Structure 1
Amino acid sequence: MNLISISIITPSYNSSLLISNTIKSVLAQTVTDWEMIIVDDCSSDNSVDVIQSFVDQDPRIKLIQLAENSGAAVARNTAIEAAKGRYIAFLDSDDTWLPNKLEKQVAFMQENNYPFTYAAYDKVNESDEVFGNVGVPSKVAYSDLLKSCSIGCLTAIYDTEYFGKVYMPLIRKRQDLGLWLKLLKKTKYAYGLNETLGLYKVRSDSISANKKSAALFTWRLYREVEQINLLKSIYYFSHYAVRGLLRTKYPGVARALGILK
């Protein structure tokens, strides 16, 4: 595979116990032509010292420190603004990639001329034990994502030669979904590689663990960011709620319906 240019976007906040493994998973990539831009959001632990130790060893790893705590959207957008790569990839400070993640997914994009892709991933607990796999559909459109977000942030990559730089909406949660929706207004589909390429850590204290809050921010995304009218918002939110309930409480039914892979 020819060398490629990839910018990896990583927000960090009080991630000192986990971000080493995240960075090591990037260093282990079979593709080497990348930069990793880590934006620290005013951590109160020693995250900056941990990150700096890697920066000192490898010039491809870059650290930006925000002047005040601003949230993941601002941190990610700061990294996107600084990015120099053709491809923008996302990896949060508690997640990791398999070594062939970038090579396989960018080849998938280049061979098929796909500007926006995602992939399957495993879910791991706080002891790094795999307890589930999240498969993905072969493609999704804008309306599909409004019903259920099947794009894991740690797997998403978009091509700036096609889109230019596209940024996340400035909301505290669901900003990744907001970005995917922006991209899907500029192209018909995002395409899925149904091969496990990353490990998503499920933490009891993570933002995504608060399902009620995530639901509220999904509603706000419909109404305030996407400016979808009330009736359509209710329609999409009902799909979102039912699918979420089936995935959580009735996985067998969800698999039978194709909601859970």
Structure 2
Amino acid sequence: MESVWKEVDETPLVSVIIPTYNCASFIAQAIRSVQKQTYENWEIIAIDDCSSDTTRCIIEEFARNDERIKMIILTENRGAAEARNVGLAVANGNYIAFLDGDDMWRPEKLMKQLHFMIKKDIGFSFTGYCLIGENAKEMGVHIIPPPVLNYKELVGNTIIGCLTVMLDRRKIGNVQMPNVKPEDTALWLSLLRNGHQAYGIQEVLADYRIVYDSVSRNKIKAAFRYWKLLREQEKLNPLFAGVYFTRYALNAYMKNKRGTSL
């Protein structure tokens, strides 16, 4: 795998964007999963979104002992999209990766994904992941992506996990997460609508933690947000929005039950 770096001037810097809000129970595991990467040329930009627990103190301790870790403290709660955008604005790497404060990566995630993107000369990739509980134990559900997705294939599909995405800004340009929920899906749709494709690595390289008091676990709110995304950002008429919304609901069910998508 090392031979791939001969194709570029140097091993590229990966900027890892981690928004945090009251995740003191999990943030250390998230950061350690980056520190354990077999690929070491990365920076963490952790953006604390006004946490009221000890999240900030934990990140500060990591930053004191690892100069690759930087923390930005927001003075008011601005939400995950704005927190990520703050991080994106100061990121130094051409490659951008996303990780939430309660999720984790497998040790070879960055190495394999960079190798994949450089070899294929692509700007947008994502990987498989598995669901874990609050105790970090696997729940038996592995989400395996298709080899490639275009815009029409992504609308109504829940297969791209934000914690698995890597973007090459030299190919897709600077990005900002739209101020519409789900903001990560909104960004992926925007990129694919503009002609990019998302390439999947069909291997589990990340762990998505199910936190049962999380807002994202409220399925009614999640469904309402997705309907709003289809109508307001994607500007689909009610008929097409209804078709894709039905597909979204079926995909969400299949993904959580069997780790598959339609």
Match of residue 160 from structure 1? 169
Residue 33 of structure 1: how far off its partner (Å): 1.0
Once residues 12 and 248 of structure 1 are traced to their aligned partners in structure 2, the CA distance between those partners, rounded to angstroms, is: 24
8 Å contact kept, 1:169–1:225: no
Q: Out of 162, 173, 183, which is 1:175 matched to?
A: 183
Residue 122 of structure 1: how far off its partner (Å): 1.4
- Which amino acid letter does the alignment assign opposite residue 117 of structure 1? S
- Structure 1 runs of 4+ aligned residues shifted over 4 Å read 246-249
Question: Cα deviations across residues 11-45 of structure 1 (Å, max 9, x unaligned)?
Answer: 00011111001001111111111111000000001
8 Å contact kept, 2:159–2:255: no
Match of residue 228 from structure 1? 236
Query: What is the root-mean-square deviation in Å for CA atoms of aligned residues?
Result: 1.5
Once residues 96 and 253 of structure 2 are traced to their aligned partners in structure 1, the CA distance between those partners, rounded to angstroms, is: 32
1:1-261 superposed matches below 5 A: 1=2, 2=5, 3-131=11-139, 132-171=141-180, 173-248=181-256, 251=258, 259=262
- Show structure 2 runs of 5+ residues with no match: 6-10
Residue 243 of structure 1: how far off its partner (Å): 2.8
Once residues 90 and 20 of structure 2 are traced to their aligned partners in structure 1, the CA distance between those partners, rounded to angstroms, is: 16
Once residues 178 and 195 of structure 1 are traced to their aligned partners in structure 2, the CA distance between those partners, rounded to angstroms, is: 24
8 Å contact kept, 2:158–2:252: no
8 Å contact kept, 2:132–2:210: yes
Once residues 244 and 195 of structure 1 are traced to their aligned partners in structure 2, the CA distance between those partners, rounded to angstroms, is: 20
Residue 186 of structure 1: how far off its partner (Å): 3.0
Once residues 41 and 188 of structure 1 are traced to their aligned partners in structure 2, the CA distance between those partners, rounded to angstroms, is: 31
- Which amino acid letter does the alignment assign opposite residue 175 of structure 1? E
Residue 247 of structure 1: how far off its partner (Å): 4.3
Percent identity of equivalent pairs: 40
Residue 147 of structure 1: how far off its partner (Å): 1.7
Once residues 210 and 116 of structure 1 are traced to their aligned partners in structure 2, the CA distance between those partners, rounded to angstroms, is: 29
| SS of residue paired to 2:127 | strand
| TM-score, with structure 2 as normaliser | 0.92
- Which amino acid letter does the alignment assign opposite residue 89 of structure 1? A
Residue 77 of structure 1: how far off its partner (Å): 0.7
Once residues 82 and 210 of structure 2 are traced to their aligned partners in structure 1, the CA distance between those partners, rounded to angstroms, is: 23
